[in-house]
Amino acid sequence: MKLSNRLQYIFYITALHLLLMGLVYQLLFQNKALFIATEVILVLSIGVAIHLYQSFNQPIAFIRSGIEAIKDKDFTVKFVPTGKGEVDTLIEVYNLMIDQLREERTRLQEQHFFLDKLIEASPVSLLILDFDERIAVLNPVALQTFGTAVVGKKLENAENALLLQMSYMTDGESQILKTDGVQAYKVQRSHLMDQGFRRSFFMLEELTTELYKTEKAAYGKVIRMMAHEVNNTLGATDSILQTTLHSLPEPEFSDFIEALRVASQRNGRLSQFMRNFADVVRLPQPRKETMSLNALAEQVSVFMRASATAQAVTIHTPQSLEPCSLYADVAQLEQVLVNIYKNAIEADGSEIRTEIRAHELCIFNNGKPITPEESSQLFNPFYSSKSNGQGIGLTLIREILVNHGYNFTLKTQSNGWTVFRIEFAMV
């Protein structure tokens, strides 16, 4: 075991003076006066050695005290000069270092305080990861979006569709992401340096309302233009077809007449097709009145039962925990439920269940699950996963529910059942 310099010095001085004392003891029997003088000198030497030891040990004591203060992060401890050059130089350097550390800590604390306040007051969602890519910090806006359950989890393990999409993003990347085809977010991933290491963070800005208005304005203009041109053409051509049909003799031109009738029917179907699109654009603002959600759900389920039976689908009577009243447009909400039931019947399942809970309506079906690719596109204008679908039903549902201010989702649960959930405020 290697001895410290302090112990080596003590052992050396002790051994030296013990040796001198042994030599001086030999003078006791030869010359007492010289023995006494030598003893005095030896005592003075021991005093000088102790003084030198204390002088050498003083800087070490200062250093030890300084180290303890730094370990305790106490940057208020400073030393007073002693009047000794070497020690005062050490004290001066230490005091200067402590001043700089204290100023740096104060500056960092002020920056962290400002950053915390900025994150807390930010109108956009901020999500910060730790060094292990786990969710560490959520500002209040992000907490409303994701909740506290995601803290401490990795993005891909948080069981959230939006966070799963965000996990594939790289630093510096910006994307517009959608969840359940309804909510849209502009997401940007970046990083900051913390203690010399990179930490990623995300900024999320909800664009649902802006995108909805932009989409509606765009497809509304296109539909109005298409409807105007198509209806003008169809009206003129159908008039010609009808005139020709009535002017041709039946027996002679029976094949030709049948072809004209087919063409006229096709014109009618195309005209109805365009009216369906135009109805979405011309949808009036809801005329709200107090209504019973229980009664409306019961009526629509009875109305759709015949269609369901034809497809070998069973519609169960809506279940409710308590009577629920809404302030809504009855006709428009009825159209919403009819379209939801229609889509559920066409999902190739065998059961449809309706549940009315506090502040929400849920319609379940055990048909074909919705794929992740379909989920992000569901409520896009006129999107349909069916080969012969027009995408008008979900677009109309979205228009009506958005105008009412209701939140809604459509997704397949882990148990295989697909649920259309509508959340609203009860009267």
Looking at CATH, the fold of the domain delimited by 122-206 is given as Beta-Lactamase (3.30.450)
pLDDT of 285-312, one tens digit each?
888 899 888 888 888 888 888 889 999 9
> What's the pLDDT tens digit per position in 232-245?
777 777 777 778 77
Q: Is the model's pLDDT at 315 over the cut of 60? A: yes
CB atoms within 10 A of CB 135: 21
Look at residue 208 and tell me whether its pLDDT is greater than 60.
yes
For residue range 252-288, what is the model confidence (pLDDT) as tens digits? Answer: 677 777 777 777 777 777 777 667 666 666 677 888 8
- Please report, for the chain, the start and end positions of each structural domain, with discontinuous segments joined by +: 5-104, 122-206, 210-281, 289-423
pTM above 0.85, yes or no: no
| Tens-place pLDDT, residues 31-48 | 667 767 777 777 787 777
Neighbours of 202 (CB within 10 A): 21
The residue among 87, 83, 80, 79 whose CA lies nearest residue 58 is 87
Dihedral through CA 224, CA 227, CA 233, CA 239, nearest 10? -130
- Per the structure block, which two tokens stand in for 122? 């930010």
Tell me the pLDDT band of 28, cut-offs 50, 70 and 90: low
Domains 122-206 and 289-423 are alike in CATH topology: no
What pLDDT, on the 0 to 100 scale, is given for residue 358? 72
The 10s digit of each residue's pLDDT in 73-83 is 776 677 667 66
CA-closest candidate to residue 394, choices 386, 384, 405: 384
What ranges in 122-139 are assigned the alpha helix state H? none
**Among the CATH numbers 3.40.190.10, 3.65.10.10, 3.30.565.10, 3.40.50.300, which is that of 289-423?**
3.30.565.10
